[in-house]
Amino acid sequence: MKYIRNILLVCVLYLSLTSCEHLLEIDPVNSMVPTTVSDFEQVLLSGYPDREFFMTTELSTDNVELNFASTLELSDVNSLWFTWAESHQAEGVIQDPIWGELYRSIYNANSVIDELDLLEILPEEKELFDIVKGEAHAVRALAYFYLANFYAEPYSKEKENMVCVPLITTANGLTDRIQNNTRESIGVIWKLIVSDLELASKLLKGKSFDSKFRFNYYSVEALKSRVHLFMGDYDKAISSADVVINKYKLWDMNEMPELAQQQEESIESMINYEYGFINTDYNKEILFYWCSNGGATGARRNIFYYSQGIEKPSDELIDSYYMLKDVSNPVSDTILDYRKYIFLRNVDKSDPKWKEYGTKSYKMYPSQGDNVTAYIGLKLGEVILNRAEAYARKNLNTEALDDVKLLMKKRILSADYPIYEAFIDAEEDVLGRVLLERRKETAFDGGLRWMDIRRLVDRRTEIIHTDKEQNEYILKVDDPRYVLQIPRSEQKFSPNMELNPR
């Protein structure tokens, strides 16, 4: 337990592989040495990703544009993401908080995995042992999934021999990781992700759970459905999605008008700073929450919540929620999609500053009051669309459209659903329809839009961003900047590490 004596119980280590020259100069916050399964459970809980690291990726997608009427400016860091700069790190900054947070989770997970099998456990500890070990493997898989999808090329069998990220599967030998690190191949990293999730699923199946802030059997299967979809293993993606879809039910958003009436509000005004969309029964669809930022602010201070902020949901995204009832008539009424209220502000146009605020904001999470929530990590809507895309990729178009209908019947006004269903039944580009609904359903969730744009090479188009000075920035279809650059900390301490092309 030598390494654990260095970590110490509940000491949260915000590590990158080489984030600073004094990596090991860490003062313990609790000198107790973990010796029981319960002790290691606490080490594990401190290892879940907690600092939000993915919202800035939204700035690099077609989901975001600038409000030119805002009196504010893009921060220097946000500007790097919005313009697809050569590096996402500001000039002179060595540490990369994304890299650091994810490898911190990997270190903590590894410390638990290393030591648990060395314990002599009592019969009454067996269930907790399986839970903690299963969660540790799931946490490690989650962290490597994000690292692989940010710092390496999207997975494909043809790219398995290309470089990915450094591979660490043990907490021993920490000092060996201060310098001269190397990148493992894409194939090896994704193989570890899959094997970790398979073991986690096996260990967690049938185990009791009562928290959405920790992995359980169903949230692991949800993540598996995502991983297998990204890898093109469509049968496995469908199988894992089946497990989740057979367990959970969608919330019917047609309940929103009654809910607003009970609060004597319109839906637009009901979803506000103190009552986010997540505070409705929509939260029953969430399978896993993460990144609470220490539990103090949660998701309430995400970069898109601020009404006066310059970063706004794009018109293109908002327009996607307005489907014409009569496509031949551009001024016909639109089908009511309740998800539009996640983004629409209740605007008072008698306020002379209303244009500074704009008509759009991201209102998934409350930003004021006592409501504090973590970010959405995994949810039922995504799982349904994972399965729908897998079906579409297998040319099982009927099954794919059935999944789209399963979702949308609970998302749009019941009176409008027959119109929508008729459109869907006549859909010629089934995969395109699935991907559109995926974009709408998962907008601003856990960096998914950026990862989807990266992997959907067959559907990519140029993305154009315009700043307040009307300068245009273009991310081309084959642009190398779909892959983040290796952090400067690694470049400094591992000078022979292969960098990503620019």
What's the pLDDT tens digit per position in 255-305?
999 999 999 999 999 998 889 999 999 999 999 999 988 766 789 878 998
At 372 the pLDDT is: 66
pLDDT in tens, 299-340: 987 899 888 899 999 999 999 999 999 989 998 999 999 999
- Mean pLDDT value of segment 230-251: 98
> What's the mean pLDDT in 142-169?
98
Q: Which two tokens stand for residue 118?
A: 């060395």
Look at 167-176, 224-233, 461-470 and tell me which has the smallest mean pLDDT. 167-176
Each residue's pLDDT tens digit, 402-448: 999 999 999 999 999 999 999 999 999 999 999 999 999 999 999 99
Q: What is the pLDDT of residue 371?
A: 67
**What is the reported pTM?**
0.93
152 by DSSP, 3-state: which? coil
3-state secondary structure of 350: coil
Does residue 3 surpass a pLDDT of 70?
no
Residue type, 151: Y
- Note whether 74 and 112 are within 8 A (CB): no
Q: For residue 23, what pLDDT band results from cuts at 50, 70 and 90?
A: very low
CA 193 – CA 155 distance, rounded (Å) = 12
Q: Is the pLDDT of residue 211 over 60?
A: yes
Upper half-sphere CA count for residue 225 (Cβ side, 13 Å): 27
- 286-287-289 Cα angle (round to 5): 80
Q: What is the mean pLDDT of the segment spanning 171-200?
A: 92
Q: For the chain, give every domain's residue range.
A: 1-63+87-208+481-502
* pLDDT score of 186 more than 70: yes
How much is the mean pLDDT over the chain? 91
Cβ partners under 8 Å of residue 471, min gap 6: none
For domain 1-63+87-208+481-502, give the CATH number: 1.25.40.890
pLDDT at 348: 84
User: With left for phi above 0 and alpha for psi between -120 and 50, is residue 358 left, alpha or beta?
Assistant: left
Please list, in sequence order, all residues whose beta carbon lies within 8 angstroms of the beta carbon of residue 245, skipping any fewer than 6 positions away.
380, 383, 384, 387
Cα–Cα nearest to 44, from 19, 17, 15, 7? 7
Q: Is the pLDDT of residue 159 over 90?
A: yes
In the block, residue with structure tokens 């601003």? 444
Q: Lowest mean pLDDT: which of 69-83, 247-261, 350-364, 407-421?
A: 350-364
Q: Which pLDDT belongs to residue 317?
A: 98
- Determine the pLDDT at residue 135: 98
